[in-house]
A and B are shown apart, each in its own frame.
Chain A
Amino acid sequence: MQRIGVFVCWCGSNIAGTVDVEAVSEALKSEPGVVFSTNYQYMCSQAGQDIIKNAIAEHKLTGIVVCSCSPRMHEATFRKTAAAAGLNPYMVEIANIREQCSWIHKDMATGTEKAIILGKAAVAKVNLNAPLTPGESPVTKRALVIGGGIAGIQTALDIADAGFPVDIVETKPTIGGKMAQLDKTFPTLDCAACILTPKMVDVAQHENIRIFSYSEVVEVGGFVGNFDVKIKKKARYVKEDVCTGCGICTEKCPMKKAPNEFNMGMDNRPAVYIPFAQAVPKVATIDPNYCNMLKNGKCGLCAKVCTAGAIDYTQKDEIIEEKYGAIVAATGFNPISMDKFDEYAYNQSKDVITSLEFERLTNAAGPTAGKLLRPSDGEHPHTIVFVQCVGSRCAACAEKGKEYCSKICCMYTAKHAMLTRDKYPDTDVYVFYIDVRTPGKSFDEFYRRAVEEYGVHYIKGMVGKVSPEGNKLMVQASDLLANKQLHIEADLVVLAAAIEPDKSARPLATMLTASMDTNDFFTEAHPKLRPVESPTAGVFLSGTCQGPKDIPETVSQASAAAAKVIGLLAKDKLTGNPCVAHSDELMCNGCSSCERVCPYGAITYVDKEFRMPDRTTAIRRVASVNTAVCQGCGACTVACPSGAMDLNGFKNAQIMAEVDAICK
Chain B
Amino acid sequence: MHKDNNAVRDEIIRRSGVNPRKCMRCGKCSATCPAYDEMEFHPHQFVYMVESGDIEPLMNSKSLYQCLTCFACVDRCPRGVEPAKLVEAVRLEVIRKQGANHLKADDIPALVTEELPQQAIVSAFRKYTK
Are A343 and B36 interface neighbours, CB within 8 A?
no
Q: Which of chain A's residues 425-475 have a Cβ closer than 8 Å to chain B?
A: 434, 460-465
Distance in angstroms from B23 CB to nearest chain A CB is 10
Residues of A within 8 A of B30 (CB): 461, 464, 478, 480, 485
Contact indicator per residue, chain A 468-506, by CB within 8 Å of chain B (1) or not (0): 000000001111100101000000000000000000000
A389 at the interface (CB under 8 A from B): yes
Residues of A within 8 A of B13 (CB): none
Known: A434-B26, A480-B44, A485-B37. A464 touches B78 (CB 8 A): no
Q: Which of chain B's residues 31-81 have a Cβ closer than 8 Å to chain A?
A: 31-33, 36-37, 42, 44-45, 72, 76-80
Rounded to whole angstroms, the CA-CA distance of A398 and B42 in the bound complex is 21
Rounded to whole angstroms, the CA-CA distance of A52 and B29 in the bound complex is 70
The count of chain A contact residues (Cβ–Cβ below 8 Å) is: 25
Partner of A485, one of B31, B45, B79: B31
Rounded to whole angstroms, the CA-CA distance of A480 and B47 in the bound complex is 13
Residues of A within 8 A of B76 (CB): 343, 464
A266 at the interface (CB under 8 A from B): no
Residues of B within 8 A of A395 (CB): 22, 78-80
Partner of B31, one of A393, A398, A465: A465
Are A485 and B22 interface neighbours, CB within 8 A?
no
Distance in angstroms from B33 CB to nearest chain A CB is 7
Are B78 and A461 interface neighbours, CB within 8 A?
no
Are B32 and A464 interface neighbours, CB within 8 A?
yes
Partner of B80, one of A343, A397, A477: A397
Are A460 and B79 interface neighbours, CB within 8 A?
no
Contact indicator per residue, chain A 566-592, by CB within 8 Å of chain B (1) or not (0): 000000000000000000000000000
Residues of A within 8 A of B27 (CB): 434, 460-462, 478-480
B24 at the interface (CB under 8 A from A): yes
B97 at the interface (CB under 8 A from A): no
Q: Which residue of B lies closest to A391 (CB)?
A: B78
Distance in angstroms from B50 CB to nearest chain A CB is 17
Residues of B within 8 A of A478 (CB): 27-28, 30-31, 36, 42, 44
A5 at the interface (CB under 8 A from B): no
The count of chain B contact residues (Cβ–Cβ below 8 Å) is: 22
Q: Which of chain A's residues 225-242 have a Cβ closer than 8 Å to chain B?
A: none
B25 at the interface (CB under 8 A from A): yes
Partner of A464, one of B31, B45, B80: B31
Are A477 and B31 interface neighbours, CB within 8 A?
yes
Are A389 and B26 interface neighbours, CB within 8 A?
yes
Distance in angstroms from A398 CB to nearest chain B CB is 4
Residues of B within 8 A of A597 (CB): none
Rounded to whole angstroms, the CA-CA distance of A465 and B80 in the bound complex is 17
Residues of B within 8 A of A401 (CB): 78
Are A485 and B78 interface neighbours, CB within 8 A?
no
Are B79 and A343 interface neighbours, CB within 8 A?
no
Residues of B within 8 A of A462 (CB): 26-28, 31
A661 at the interface (CB under 8 A from B): no
Rounded to whole angstroms, the CA-CA distance of A552 and B29 in the bound complex is 36
Residues of A within 8 A of B72 (CB): 464-465
Q: Is the interface of A mostly helix, strand, loop or mixed?
A: mixed
Residues of B within 8 A of A393 (CB): 24, 78-79
Q: Which residue of B lies closest to A392 (CB)?
A: B78
Contact indicator per residue, chain A 249-276, by CB within 8 Å of chain B (1) or not (0): 0000000000000000000000000000
Are B32 and A343 interface neighbours, CB within 8 A?
yes
Residues of B within 8 A of A509 (CB): none
A625 at the interface (CB under 8 A from B): no
Are B24 and A398 interface neighbours, CB within 8 A?
no
Residues of B within 8 A of A85 (CB): none
Q: Is the interface of B mostly helix, strand, loop or mixed?
A: helix
Residues of B within 8 A of A343 (CB): 32, 76
Rounded to whole angstroms, the CA-CA distance of A477 and B25 in the bound complex is 13
Residues of A within 8 A of B37 (CB): 485
Residues of B within 8 A of A389 (CB): 26, 78
Rounded to whole angstroms, the CA-CA distance of A461 and B28 in the bound complex is 7
Q: Which residue of B lies closest to A481 (CB)?
A: B27
Residues of B within 8 A of A434 (CB): 24-27
Q: Which residue of A lies closest to B31 (CB)?
A: A464
Residues of A within 8 A of B80 (CB): 395-399
Residues of A within 8 A of B29 (CB): 464
Are B32 and A465 interface neighbours, CB within 8 A?
yes
Are A398 and B32 interface neighbours, CB within 8 A?
no
Q: Which residue of A lies closest to B22 (CB)?
A: A395
Rounded to whole angstroms, the CA-CA distance of A476 and B72 in the bound complex is 13
Rounded to whole angstroms, the CA-CA distance of A401 and B26 in the bound complex is 15
Residues of B within 8 A of A397 (CB): 80
Known: A343-B76, A480-B44. A485 touches B25 (CB 8 A): no
Are B26 and A485 interface neighbours, CB within 8 A?
no
Known: A343-B76, A393-B78, A483-B42. A464 touches B24 (CB 8 A): no
Partner of B79, one of A398, A476, A483: A398
Distance in angstroms from A431 CB to nearest chain B CB is 14
Contact indicator per residue, chain B 92-119, by CB within 8 Å of chain A (1) or not (0): 0000000000000000000000000000
A563 at the interface (CB under 8 A from B): no
Distance in angstroms from A430 CB to nearest chain B CB is 13
Q: Which residue of B lies closest to A399 (CB)?
A: B80
Rounded to whole angstroms, the CA-CA distance of A480 and B32 in the bound complex is 13
Q: Which residue of B lies closest to A483 (CB)?
A: B42
A394 at the interface (CB under 8 A from B): yes
Partner of A398, one of B25, B33, B78: B78
Q: Which residue of B lies closest to A435 (CB)?
A: B24
Residues of B within 8 A of A479 (CB): 27
Residues of B within 8 A of A485 (CB): 30-31, 33, 36-37, 42
Distance in angstroms from A106 CB to nearest chain B CB is 37
Distance in angstroms from B45 CB to nearest chain A CB is 8
Rounded to whole angstroms, the CA-CA distance of A251 and B126 in the bound complex is 88
Rounded to whole angstroms, the CA-CA distance of A393 and B33 in the bound complex is 21
Rounded to whole angstroms, the CA-CA distance of A399 and B77 in the bound complex is 11
Rounded to whole angstroms, the CA-CA distance of A389 and B30 in the bound complex is 16
Distance in angstroms from B68 CB to nearest chain A CB is 14
Q: Which of chain A's residues 18-69 have a Cβ closer than 8 Å to chain B?
A: none
Contact indicator per residue, chain A 394-417, by CB within 8 Å of chain B (1) or not (0): 111111110000000000000000
Distance in angstroms from A503 CB to nearest chain B CB is 23
Rounded to whole angstroms, the CA-CA distance of A122 and B4 in the bound complex is 58
Partner of B26, one of A396, A461, A483: A461
Distance in angstroms from B22 CB to nearest chain A CB is 6
Rounded to whole angstroms, the CA-CA distance of A462 and B22 in the bound complex is 16
Rounded to whole angstroms, the CA-CA distance of A396 and B78 in the bound complex is 9
Distance in angstroms from A462 CB to nearest chain B CB is 4
Distance in angstroms from A497 CB to nearest chain B CB is 13
- Listed by A's residue number, 8 A-B pairs whose Cβ atoms lie within 8 Å are A343-B32, A395-B79, A400-B78, A462-B31, A464-B29, A478-B30, A479-B27, A483-B42
Closest 5 CB pairs of A and B: A464-B31, A464-B32, A397-B80, A462-B28, A478-B31
Known: A398-B77, A399-B80, A464-B29. 9 other contacts (CB 8 A): A395-B79, A401-B78, A434-B27, A464-B28, A464-B30, A477-B31, A478-B30, A480-B30, A480-B44
